[in-house]
Structure 1
C-alpha cells in the first residue's frame, strides 16, 4: 500500500474546495465558509474526545480522520498552508514542552494552563 500523507490530503482538499462539484462535501464546506467549517471542526473534536474515552481503536481512528480532514479544510479556507503548521510544530520541538508552554503563558493564560 502506498503511503498517504497529510500533504496528499491537503492537495485533494485544495482541489475539491475550489471546484463547483455539487457532489463534493469539501466544495460544500468551502461554499459555507469559515464559520460553518470551524463549527464542524469543533463537533469533530468533541466526537474524537468521546471516542478516545469510550470507543474502540477503530472508532478512534475514524473520528481522528474526520478531525484531521476538517482541520485541513479550515486551514485551506483561511489560506494557512499545512507547511506553516508543520513549521510551528518543528519550532516547538526544538525546546522542551515545558519551556514552550512557558513561552506561550507569557501571552496569557489558556484553559490548558488552568488544568
Structure 2
C-alpha cells in the first residue's frame, strides 16, 4: 500500500509541476498578446497571424524529427520544448487553455489507443 501511495504522490507532484509550468507560460503568452511586436517575439508572432504561428509549428516539428533521426537526445529535448512552446502560442491565440489539453490526455489515459481512436466522433 505504501508503494501505491508513493507512486500516486509522485504522479500528483509531476502533474502539478507540469500544469503549473504550462499555466504560468500560458499566462505570459496571454500578456504578450497586448505587447509591442517590436519588443516581443511572441507579440510579433501574434501580429503576423495564424499562418505565421502554424509555419513556426511546422518548422519546430521538422526539427524534432531531424533531432530524433540523428539520435541527439539533448537536441530532441530542446526541440520538443520549442514545439511545445509554439503549440502553447497556438492554444492562447485560439483562446484555449493548457488544462484543456491535459484533461483530454487524462481522459485517454488507461484507454487503448485503438479503442480511443475508434470512439472519436
TM-score range, shorter chain: 0.7 to 0.9
What are the superposed Cα offsets for residues 75-105 of structure 1, whole Å, 9 maximum, x if unpaired?
Answer: 111111111111111111152222102223x
Considering fraction of residues, name the structure with more helix. 2
Q: What TM-score do the two structures reach when normalised by structure 1?
A: 0.79
Distance 1:55 1:31 in 2: 35
SS of the aligned residue for 2:36 comes to: coil
Number of residue-to-residue matches in the alignment: 103
**Unmatched 5+ stretches in structure 2:** 1-16
Structure 2 residue 81 is the aligned partner of structure 1 residue 69:
no
1:17 CA drift (Å): 2.6
Q: Based on CA coordinates, which of the two structures has the bigger radius of gyration?
A: 2
Give the aligned CA root-mean-square deviation in angstroms.
Answer: 1.8
Indicate which of 106, 109, 112 corresponds to 1:93.
109
SS of the aligned residue for 2:49 comes to: helix
Indicate which of 26, 35, 39 corresponds to 2:55.
39
Q: What TM-score do the two structures reach when normalised by structure 2?
A: 0.76
Indicate which of 14, 34, 46 corresponds to 1:30.
46
